[in-house]
Chain A
Amino acid sequence: MPKVKIPRKSTLVDMTAMCDVSFLLLTFFILTAKFKPQAVVAVDVPFARTTKAVDNAIVITVNKDGKAFISLKEKQVRFAMLDKLGEITGDHYPAVKNMTPQQKEFFSLTETWGTPIEDIQRVTSMTGAQFKEYQEKQMPGIPCDSANNQLGDWVTAARYATGGDIQIGIKGDKNSNVEYVKNIIKRLTDKDIHRFILITSLASGNPDEAAAAQSEADKPK
């Protein structure tokens, strides 16, 4: 009987198609990825285990020295906020009302602001280099004491500008004094804002171990 011949087939697979697909995906991810905007205010957020994702929020950043900054993601919202701020605080601070369209445009180009309202016209007429220096070194933060609650006005204006159903995030530094954050929460509850989200990052490693080590160190020997 003749043997049945099994035809030999090459085991090489054509990788071209796979290569095409993978590079397509790669380009897609690279193009859709957004760069993390350069953080004007350096803040080391605390870890937490119970977290949920934030989609859209007015973020109030509190740095180590207790300075408060407000960040809004979208340019139109920042523009609308400025108009509202002019309406709300127009009587106390004519500065916002009197801003020129160029100054308003300048304002809406920057995401994070920490400028007292009375300074806003001076800052928005700066040149690029001047402003950069101001941003990095001298931004004084938005005043938020009970007598001069500008932060409350800013947040109220931002809420109007976004339609009201936006979350209010507080981004604090994990080593900063808790009083700063408490103060900001108090100033916002003065303005009838009661729901907050605290921006955290997902716990990495084992926080229990760190805490256990801490308690071990506290024990008297």
Chain B
Amino acid sequence: MAQMETSDGGGGKHKGGVRSKKMSTRVDLTPMVDLAFLLISFFMLTTTMNKPKAMQLNMPKKTNIEEEKQDVGECQVLNVLLDTLDQVWYYEGLQVAGLQKTTFAGDGGIRKEILKKLKVVPDACPLTRKWTDLNKDGQKQDNEYAPAKRDAIVLIKMLGGARYKNMVDILDEMDITGCKVYAIQDPDPIEIEAIANGGTVKEFAKETATK
């Protein structure tokens, strides 16, 4: 124990002589305990804060095998483009048209558009596939699979000079909105030009693209 025994045990020892004043040797340890716990909490908090965090990113394999490639329906696609001024541009479908500008703002920004697309696509864009076989008479006949539901696909395209922060932000949005299918691609020259023109696509650019 930290405190010492100060009371007289035997008695009769102090007859005569100078009586020293009895002082308690107990020290109040409460402030010390306070301090210790303060330091503990400080160290615990700072050590956990420094752990590195990360987000997962999977890139597609390069493949030339047809079966591994996925069909992309035009109605599934939402293109998201990031420019050098921290702006987000988007359009639907595979043809560059109707580019619109938005931001990363939480409620009204790109998140709203992604959520809208995710909600609409499974019902509005079913996949119908056909297969051919021979019927009883040995004639070829076309059969159709039951329409399958498809998810939205977000194509992320970053213009050269965009900030890396924006790439992380858009991947963050993918996770927040629960978008499972997305891909990072290089932007087309037409898209770059359209953004440079403030969202309008020049007709001749379209024509050369279709040729």
The interface of chain A, by Cβ under 8 A from chain B, is 15-16, 18-19, 22-23, 25-26, 29-30, 33, 36, 46-54, 57, 167, 169-170, 172-182, 185, 189, 192, 194-202, 207-208, 211-212, 214-215, 218
Contact = CB atoms under 8 A, between A and B. Distances in A.
B86 A197 contact: no
B33 A15 contact: yes
B168 A174 contact: yes
Classify the secondary structure of A's interface with B: mixed
B105 A15 contact: no
A195 B40 CA distance: 38
Contacts of A196: 56-59
A208 B106 contact: yes
B28 A181 contact: no
Contact of B165 (A25, A175, A215): A175
A181 B82 CA distance: 15
Contacts of B33: 15, 18-19, 22
B54 A198 contact: yes
Contact of B169 (A48, A57, A177, A192): A48
Contact of B164 (A26, A175, A215): A175
A202 B52 CA distance: 9
B195 interface: no
B2 A177 contact: no
A178 B163 contact: yes
Interface of B: 1-3, 28-30, 32-33, 36-37, 39-40, 43-44, 47, 50-62, 82, 86-87, 102-107, 109, 158, 160-169, 171-172, 175-176, 184
A202 B165 contact: no
Given A170-B57, A189-B61, 10 more contacts: A16-B29, A25-B36, A25-B40, A53-B53, A174-B163, A176-B164, A185-B184, A199-B54, A207-B106, A212-B106
A211 B55 contact: no
A149 B161 CA distance: 22
20 contacts: A15-B28, A15-B29, A22-B40, A23-B36, A26-B39, A26-B43, A29-B47, A53-B54, A172-B164, A175-B165, A178-B161, A179-B160, A185-B59, A189-B62, A195-B57, A196-B56, A198-B168, A208-B107, A211-B106, A212-B105
A101 B82 CA distance: 49
Nearest to B39: A26
B105 A29 contact: no
Given A33-B43, A33-B47, A46-B165, A198 B104 contact: no
B164 A199 contact: no
Contact of A36 (B50, B56, B62): B50
A130 B59 CA distance: 40
A50 B105 contact: no
A218 B29 contact: no
B57 A177 contact: no
Contact of B1 (A16, A26, A30, A174): A16
Contacts of A48: 53, 55, 168-169, 171-172
A208 B55 contact: no
Nearest to B85: A218
Contacts of B51: 53-54
Contact of A22 (B36, B60, B61): B36
Given A22-B37, A198-B54, A30 B161 contact: no
A218 B108 CA distance: 14
B87 A218 contact: yes
Nearest to B43: A29
Given A176-B163, A176-B164, A181-B167, A52 B54 contact: yes
Contacts of A212: 103, 105-106
